Amino acid sequence: MKIHEYQAKELFRRYGIPVPQGDVAFDVQRAEQIATELIKETNNETVVVKAQIHAGGRGKGGGVKVVQGAAAANQAAAAIMGMNLITHQTGPEGKQVGRLLVEQGMDIARELYVGLVVDREKRQICLMTSTEGGMEIEEVAANTPEKILKAWFDPKTGLLPFKARELAFGLGLTGKQVGKGVKIMQALTELFIREDASLLEINPLVVTKQDDIIALDGKINFDDNASYRQKSHEEMRDATEENPVEAEAAALGFSYVGMDGDIGCCVNGAGLAMATMDIIKHEGGEPANFLDVGGGADAETVKKAFKIILTDDRVKAIFVNIFGGILRCDVLAEGVVGAVQEMGISVPLVVRLEGTNVDIGRKILADSGLKINAAADMADGAKLVVGLARG
């Protein structure tokens, strides 16, 4: 699950990580009000208005404006609120802005980078820092890898202070900046572990002319596997940022990812579901979706899956690819026939079943009198469904 910058900064505050003063606004009027209050409290006319969407590159896309005074903040907010923001992470369709973060401006001396990720190779958490704040970290890694300093730790011991100090000195922090930097890095590691983050990034982490170190930006993704013990995160969910079909599928216990093609897929198991899309493409077709209905697959499951697949009206044919194994294919076949009859599905269906009683299962499909094609094997099924989708 992803959250907005302003929500990440609220969490930073709770863990003692300094962030600029500011607040979120859902309309332009409130944005101006926040700006007025900020100017009064900080005695600083510089205000930053930032679009809140779940994507990076907002500044380049015109979603961040630094202005002087409350009236200018109002104008900036009016320009950004409701705009369709297109960045390299939103895709060409962009994202509509519905929330703004209004913050005090900072006297920036240096821009640094801090990020935490799970290092799958080392099976530890990796804390990455760089002197090249404000740049894409992938770019820094590709062009000047020596400018990235890393430390690894596990949740048992946490980030040891000496490792944090090594990074702080490596970043060129001096004097009282060192202690502040170490404190921030340790707070971030604590946040990462306690909140079950899967990714955490501050880009840039700035050193001000007053020697303060402040998170000017914030990005946090959470591990969905831990949502059962992170109930408070649910309040941070922004449904407008999520694909409604993916969310509906998730509520049913399915894993769904929409694609651009016209062949719907209903498969048990993630690996086989990916492989099914691959073989459709290999046969010259285009998959409409990835859909993993889970290890088993009974009649009720198949029915729900068809409903999800058919929310995409581009679907011209459906490929059901189930490796039963322990499940009996005759039971599966009856389930598919029942689902088609009950739902009155009009698009052609190709069903490939494998497992116990596969011959009886195929016969049930063939004898159903419905537009169901029983495939001999996976390759046959893929060829059939690609042909049917072409019409």
Partner 1 sequence: MTILVNKETRVLVQGITGGAGSFHTRQMIDAGTTLVAGVTPGKGGQKFDDKVPIFDTVAEAQRQTGANASVIFVPAPFAGDAIMECIETGMTLAVCITEGIPTVDMLKVRAFLEGSKTRLVGPNCPGLIAPPIKQKLGITPHQVTRPGRIGVISRSGTLTYEAIGQLTALGYGQSTCVGIGGDPVGGMDFIDTLTQFEQDDDTDAVLMIGEIGGTAEEQAAAFIKDNMKKPVAAFIAGATAPPGKRMGHAGAIIAGGKGTAAEKIAALKEAGVKVSPTPAELGKTLVSAL
Phi, psi of 71 (to 5 degrees): -65, -40
Alpha helices in the chain (DSSP H): 5-14, 28-42, 70-80, 137-143, 161-170, 176-194, 244-251, 270-282, 299-309, 329-343, 358-366, 378-390
Q: Which residues contact 251 (CB under 8 A, 6 or more apart)?
A: none
Single out the residue of 55, 63, 65 nearest to residue 83, CA to CA.
63
CB atoms within 10 A of CB 14: 11
Residue 339 near partner 1 by CB under 8 A: no
Q: What residues between 232 and 251 interact with partner 1 by CB under 8 A?
A: none
Single out the residue of 74, 87, 101 nearest to residue 218, CA to CA.
101
Catalytic hit among 6, 103, 113, 256: 113
Q: What residues between 318 and 337 interact with partner 1 by CB under 8 A?
A: 323-326
Cβ 42 to partner 1 shortest distance, Å? 36
* Comparison of 46 and 289: residue with beta carbon closer to partner 1: 289
* Comparison of 23 and 354: residue with beta carbon closer to partner 1: 354
Residue 123 near partner 1 by CB under 8 A: yes
Alpha helices in 104-213 (DSSP H): 137-143, 161-170, 176-194
Cβ 164 to partner 1 shortest distance, Å? 18
Residues 208 and 109 sit within 8 Å (Cβ to Cβ): yes
Cβ 269 to partner 1 shortest distance, Å? 3
Residue 42 near partner 1 by CB under 8 A: no
Angle at 219 between CA 217 and CA 224, to 5 degrees: 165
List 6's β-bridge partners, or say none: none
Cβ 188 to partner 1 shortest distance, Å? 14
Q: What residues between 103 and 122 interact with partner 1 by CB under 8 A?
A: 118, 120-121
CB atoms within 10 A of CB 29: 12
* Comparison of 247 and 270: residue with beta carbon closer to partner 1: 270
Residues 92 and 86 sit within 8 Å (Cβ to Cβ): yes
* Comparison of 274 and 299: residue with beta carbon closer to partner 1: 274
Q: What residues between 254 and 293 interact with partner 1 by CB under 8 A?
A: 255, 257, 259, 267-282, 287, 290, 292
228 is catalytic: no
Choosing from 41, 107, 154, 367, the residue that interacts with partner 1 (CB under 8 A) is: 154
Choosing from 19, 39, 72, 125, the residue that interacts with partner 1 (CB under 8 A) is: 125
Q: Which stretch binds partner 1 (CB under 8 A): 20-28, 180-188, 208-216, 371-379?
A: 371-379
Choosing from 37, 111, 196, 238, the residue that interacts with partner 1 (CB under 8 A) is: 196
Residue 159 near partner 1 by CB under 8 A: no
Cβ 16 to partner 1 shortest distance, Å? 20
* Comparison of 74 and 301: residue with beta carbon closer to partner 1: 301
**Prior bond to 204 cis, omega within 30?**
yes
113 is catalytic: yes
Residue 203 near partner 1 by CB under 8 A: no
DSSP per-residue letters across 222-288: E-GGGGGG-GGGGGG--GGGS-HHHHHHHHTT-EEEE-SSSEEEEESSHHHHHHHHHHHHHTT--BS
Report how far residue 283's alpha carbon sits from residue 154's, in angstroms, rounded to the nearest whole number. Answer: 45
Catalytic hit among 32, 132, 201, 334: 201
- Burial of 92-101, coded b for 16+ CB within 10 Å and e otherwise, reads eeebebebbb
Choosing from 43, 146, 210, 229, the residue that interacts with partner 1 (CB under 8 A) is: 229
Give contact residues for partner 1 (rule: CB under 8 A): 118, 120-121, 123-125, 138, 154-157, 193, 196, 198, 223-226, 228-229, 255, 257, 259, 267-282, 287, 290, 292, 295, 323-326, 354-356, 377-379, 382
Positions annotated as catalytic residues are 113, 201
